[in-house]
Amino acid sequence: MKTGPKPDRRVFTAAAALAMILPGATACAEEGETWESFKTRYLQPDGRVVDNGNNGVSHTEGQGWAMLLAVANEDRETFDRVWAWTNANLARSDVRLFSWRYDPAAQPPVTDPNNATDGDIFIAWALLRAADRWRNDDYARASAEIRGAIGRGLVAQIAGRSLLLPGLEGFANAEGITYNPSYFVLPALKLFADRDPHGPWRQVIAGGLEVADLALFGQESLPSDWVFVGVDGRLAPAAGHAPRFSFDAIRAPFYLVWGGEKSRRQVQAVAAWWRKGFKDDKRPPAWIDVMTGETAPYTLSNGGAAVAAIVMNDNGVDKWKAEEPNYYSSVLQLLATVSRKDVGRRRIGL
C-alpha cells in the first residue's frame, strides 16, 4: 500500500542537542516564538513558508498553518501573500485541492501531484476564519470549494465509519486504509459541520472520535503516527511506517483538546505518558515505539512541550529552552497559543 512521502519531523537535531550543552551555541534563538520572529525566519517575501528542517521545502500544511496564524494575528497582508503563493504554486488543475510538497531544488518544484488532507483542511479552515474576520466573499468561496473537494474525494467508508483518507492516491486497497490520526483536525471539522450541515462532516467527526478512542497501542496505550484500519475494523500501526508515537501523532490529542474533547481516552493516555517525563525540569523523549517501548535519545522540542502543556492542561511544563531555531517547533508553539485563546474564549473554530 503506497502512502506517499511526508516531511521528516526530527525537530531536535544533533546541533540542537549540542546547543543545550554549550552556552551561546544558539545565539540566534529567542526566548519563545512570536509571529514576527516566525515570519523573519521562515516566510519568504513571496509568501512561501520554508521548512528549514527539510532542506528548505514547503508543504501545504505549512502554508495552511501560516494562513491560520496570520488570521489569528490580524495580519491580512501576510495572509494574502501566503494564500496567493499557495494558490499559484500548489493548486491542482483537476480538483480544488493542493499538491502537498514544493521543492525549490527540483525541476519542476512540484514532482508529486498528490495532496495531503491535513494541509487542505488547514487552508480551507484558514480561509473560512479569514472570511469571517475580514468579511471577504472570495475567501469564503474558496474555502467552500476546497471543503467540497475534501468531502467528495477524501472521505472513506470503512467498517461502518466515515474516515478521512490522508490523500487522494495510495492510501486504500481491498484490505483497508492507511489513516493518520493527526489529520483529524477536530476544530476545523466542527466549523465545517456548522457551515455545511448537509456535508459529511458530522459523520467524519463521529468516525474519527471512535478511532481516537480505539487506536491506542502498546503498554502506554498511545496512538501511532500511521494506523491501518481494516475492512473488518481491525486497527494496528500501519505497515511501512515506524510504529511510533512521534512527530505526527503528538498533534492528534492536541487537536482533540482544541476541538473540545479533552476527556477522550487518547488525550488522557498521552497526558499520562508525558506527565511521567516532565520531572525535575526534564522533558519526555520526543518519540516512543508503541510496540517495543524504545524511546528517542533526545527530548521534546519547545514546540512539543507547548503542545504537551495544552494536552496535559499544565502550563508549568511549557518552559522555553535553548534550541536551534526550527520551523516545526516554532509553528507548534504558535498553534498552541491560538488554540489556548480559542478554547479559553469558547470560540472553537472561529
Please indicate whether residue 232 is annotated as part of the active site: no
Q: Which residue among 30, 31, 33, 61 is the active-site one?
A: 61
Helix, strand, or coil (residue 12) = coil
**What b/e readout covers 65-97, taking b as 16+ CB neighbours within 10 angstroms?**
bbbbbbbbbebeebbbbbbebbeebbeeeebbb
C-alpha separations of 326 from 56, 203, 255, 347 in Å: 11, 36, 21, 29
Write the DSSP string, 41-92: HHB-TTSPBPBTTTTTBEEHHHHHHHHHHHHHTT-HHHHHHHHHHHHHHTB-
Please indicate whether residue 225 is annotated as part of the active site: no
Element (H, E) at 317: none
Q: Which residue among 51, 118, 225, 342 is the active-site one?
A: 118
Q: Is the dihedral angle over the CA atoms 138, 139, 144, 150 positive or is it negative? A: positive
Residues with catalytic function: 61, 118
